[in-house]
Amino acid sequence: MQTKNPAEPTQSISRPLWRQPALWILAATITISGAIIFISPALMATPSQQTITPEIQGFKPLAPEPAQIRTSMRILDQLNYNHYQELAVDDQLSSTIFDHYFDLLDISKSYLISSDIQEFNKFRYQLDDALKNGNLFPSFAIFNRYQQRTIERLQYVLKLITKEMDQWQFNQNESLETDRKKAQWAKNIDELNQLWKKRIKAAELNLILANKTPKEAKQILLKRYQAKLHRSLQINSEDVFQAYMNAVTQTYDPHTQYLSPSNSENFNINMSLSLEGIGAVLQTEDEYTKIVSLVPAGPAEKSGLLHPADRIVGVSKGNGKEMVDVIGWRIDEVVELIRGAKGSVVRLEIIPSTAENTQETKIVSITRDTVKLEEQAAQKKIIPITQNGKILKIGVISLPTFYIDYKAMHDEDPNYRSSTRDVARLLQVLKKENVDGLVLDLRDNGGGYLQEANHLVGLFIKTGPTVQIRDDHGQVELLADTDPNIAYTGPMVVLVNRLSASASEIFAGAIQDYKRGLIIGSQTFGKGTVQALRDLDRGQLKITESKFYRISGDSNQHLGIIPDITLPSIYDKDQIGESALDNALPWDRIQPVKYALFNNNKPNTNLLIAQHNQRVAHDPDFEYLLSYLALSKENAQKTKLSLNQKQRIEERQQNEAKLLALENSRRTALNLPLLKHLKAESDPDSESLTLSVPPSSKEKDKDTLLDETAHIVADMTLMMKNTHSEIPATIRSK
């Protein structure tokens, strides 16, 4: 279980992108030498001494500690000298940090009011000078005001629940705007009160629609906001410092992050994989804990019950234990609650990613476990395809991550495991079984070791460069395959999706540039940067120091890999991917390098697309998938939440009717028995429809996208029959 934005390796792309939202890089940690810093007494003045924050009950202004001042200056030095992107620490950067800090604290504009922003606007162009001088007062002054407003708000909410909730009716024509990222700051406290009254009414109605009585709903909300108030009063100076430092670092790029001493310790534990969990990467979004990605072969992924963009609203340590409401909790607290011993059960209450509104929750049970290397290893199967009266055998190799057992390799174990070795072995087996074509399935593969991506490309080409790595000084390192042996020369495609990242993108980009095979699927993640860990006096800094480029000179960053043939994506690229992250480094190009095209008589892509379109136009599973994704997108665009109980029930019934109609249309076409209604998802024995991933897109024995990819490979095979050549042709420098 990882917290938001864990780190990444340097010369290897280490651990897959499931470490949100970047890959982990297992680079050697560089220690920063010590230095003596003179601290002016004026800079040591506390916010209470320079206070612009009035006193309220239970609120104690926080002040920076001397060690934090020293650490802030070390972080700024690292950003200036080692970050890939050179940014001038000037008024423009100061303004960006200012806005990002307020977004980090109150992105939904639910606590601060416009007069607060106006008051602190005097700092907008002063943060650059303050950082250079080690002056943390502006950041603490802003946080203290935010903390004051938060406590005021929570005290108001508790009073509202206690004194007014019993009189509320849900028969008015009221609604709540749930997307407040573009909202204006409230003009005054009264306007905030109106917002929060609607918000609490919506929370109560959600609970009532989830079969809670009004009395139960009241107790749940009282407990939720009492706990949130208690946690707010426990905020300490290190919490403030970490928040501000990440507002600073993430103006450079979203993967550069300050890890406090406690988070640094958690990070190192996670890197060693010594803790058991469910295998999911989490981040905070508004008051919710959102699932970013799943660890390949981890408990959550194997269960099929959790998916990226699901939101966790409750956690229970096991069967029969009380469900703890975690809305509004800190990410580290949620992680700690989900962690547990191997073999134990954790129950999660989640809002599925495609739920029409927040009352559509379900409870799932996951058994905690460690992720074993063999479970992440490459696997193969054969899909028989009948095409033009012929049966073709299409081999499929699924690779969930780019892995290597370094310990066994260093111990000179001749049978050590790695992704390249395992894929090579499986290719030999598939060739003996006389497959006609190959699919290398890299869907959900978030990356892994860079050397493995390089070696895997080498299984499919003679020799040549595979990737360019440009550092912060503009120096370019070229990795290449030097082994002339080719493990497989037949027709092949690489299947990717939005969660294919980093090492996967390096491999897919090289295959595409060499014209060795086609890339099929959806636009990939776009993670083309490399991070290193650097020790600080307190904690660590994960900093972006390099960038990946294809041999064609194109960056993988931001844009990712664009497939030759596009298939529907079950992931919303506006929510998931590098382009969905603030301040992501841009796409760009550098000089290409010379490389020899594979020249295996590239198939006519336009003809393949035409054949694909003709086939899926009459495929019930494919039609269902497209309709389901369109309905999910329609639901995701709804940001007005009705506070009318009758209307909400009608909306839910209409949504369920649409889903039922879609499924029964598919069943009719496939001559399957029809469903009379959608059965409860909490019933493990029911034939239920998941609201997160279409049932027909990835059922236990059915994978619509993979099956269609196999058909495309069959088309390729017939098209290229008797014309295949494995001899490289012209030298190209694009």
pLDDT range class, residue 278, cuts 50, 70, 90: confident
Does 22 have pLDDT greater than 60?
no
pLDDT, tens digit, 9 for 90 and up, residues 690-730: 333 444 444 445 799 999 999 999 999 998 875 544 333 33
pLDDT value at residue 328: 75
Q: Rounded to whole angstroms, how far apart are CA atoms 79 and 72?
A: 11
pLDDT, tens digit, 9 for 90 and up, residues 459-496: 999 999 999 999 999 999 999 999 999 999 999 999 99
Does 271 have pLDDT greater than 70?
no
Q: Rounded to whole angstroms, how far apart are CA atoms 677 and 654?
A: 12
DSSP class of 372? P
Q: Rounded to whole angstroms, how far apart are CA atoms 573 and 523?
A: 8
Q: Rounded to whole angstroms, how far apart are CA atoms 717 and 705?
A: 18
Of 4-13, 379-388, 672-681, the range with the lowest mean pLDDT is: 4-13
For the segment(s) 374-526+547-604+713-732, the CATH number from 3.30.930.10, 3.40.605.10, 3.90.226.10, 3.40.50.300 is: 3.90.226.10
pLDDT range class, residue 336, cuts 50, 70, 90: confident
pLDDT range class, residue 396, cuts 50, 70, 90: very high
Q: Among candidates 556, 561, 559, 521, which has minimal Cα distance to 440?
A: 521
Read off the pLDDT of each residue in 146-165 and give the average, rounded to a whole number: 95
Read off the pLDDT of each residue in 31-57 and give the average, rounded to a whole number: 33
pLDDT range class, residue 237, cuts 50, 70, 90: very high
Q: Rounded to whole angstroms, how far apart are CA atoms 311 and 289?
A: 6
pLDDT value at residue 397: 98
* Residue extents of the structural domains in the chain: 62-253, 274-367, 374-526+547-604+713-732, 615-703
Query: DSSP letters of 657-682?
Result: HHHHHHHHHHHHHTTPPPPSSPPPTT
Read off the pLDDT of each residue in 359-372 and give the average, rounded to a whole number: 79
Active site residue 734: no
CA 206 to chain centre: 27
pLDDT value at residue 316: 87
pLDDT, tens digit, 9 for 90 and up, residues 596-615: 998 766 789 999 999 999 99
- Which of 444, 513, 554, 564 does the annotation list as catalytic? 513
SS3 of residue 277 by DSSP? strand
Residues in contact with 363: Cβ distance below 8 Å, sequence separation at least 6, in sequence order:
314, 323, 347, 348, 349, 350, 682
SS3 of residue 702 by DSSP? strand
Does 32 have pLDDT greater than 60?
no
Six-digit token pair at 364? 């799932």
Other CB atoms within a 10 A radius of the CB of residue 269 amount to 12
Q: Rounded to whole angstroms, how far apart are CA atoms 12 and 24?
A: 9
pLDDT value at residue 492: 96
Question: pTM, whole model, 2 decimals?
Answer: 0.80
- Which of 14, 110, 418, 502 does the annotation list as catalytic? 502
pLDDT value at residue 44: 31
362-367 and 345-351 strand pairing? antiparallel
pLDDT range class, residue 568, cuts 50, 70, 90: very high
Q: Rounded to whole angstroms, how far apart are CA atoms 47 and 139?
A: 10
pLDDT range class, residue 320, cuts 50, 70, 90: low
pLDDT, tens digit, 9 for 90 and up, residues 59-87: 789 999 999 999 999 999 999 999 999 99
- Amino acid identity for residue 182 in this structure: K
Q: What is the mean pLDDT of the chain?
A: 83
Strand partners, 438: 395, 492
pLDDT value at residue 647: 95
Other CB atoms within a 10 A radius of the CB of residue 654 amount to 11
In 364-460, alpha helices (H) = 373-376, 406-410, 419-432, 450-458
Six-digit token pair at 706? 């993979």
Query: DSSP letters of 606-647?
Result: HHHHHHHHHHHTT-HHHHHHHHHHHHHHHHHT--EEE--HHH
- 308 and 294 in contact (C-beta within 8 Å)? yes
Helix 645-669 / helix 620-636 crossing angle, nearest 10 deg: 160
Phi, psi of 311, deg, nearest 5: -115, 135
Q: Among candidates 266, 250, 251, 271, which has minimal Cα distance to 24?
A: 271
Q: Among candidates 675, 540, 696, which has minimal Cα distance to 620?
A: 696
How distant, in Å, are the alpha carbons of 5, 69, 144, 260, 365 from that of 72? 19, 5, 19, 12, 42
Does 353 have pLDDT greater than 90?
no
640-642 and 731-732 strand pairing? unpaired
Does 181 have pLDDT greater than 50?
yes
For the chain, what percent of residues have pLDDT higher than 90?
Answer: 57
Q: What is the dotted CATH code of the domain comprising 274-367? A: 2.30.42.10
SS3 of residue 108 by DSSP? coil
186-193 long-range contacts, Cβ below 8 Å, gap at least 24?
A: 186/109, 186/113, 186/114, 187/113, 187/114, 188/113, 188/114, 188/115, 189/113, 189/152, 191/113, 192/110, 192/111, 192/113, 192/153, 193/156
- 541 and 75 in contact (C-beta within 8 Å)? yes
pLDDT value at residue 371: 65
- 78 and 31 in contact (C-beta within 8 Å)? no
Active site residue 527: yes
Does 260 have pLDDT greater than 90?
no
Active site residue 513: yes
- Which of 527, 542, 564, 642 does the annotation list as catalytic? 527
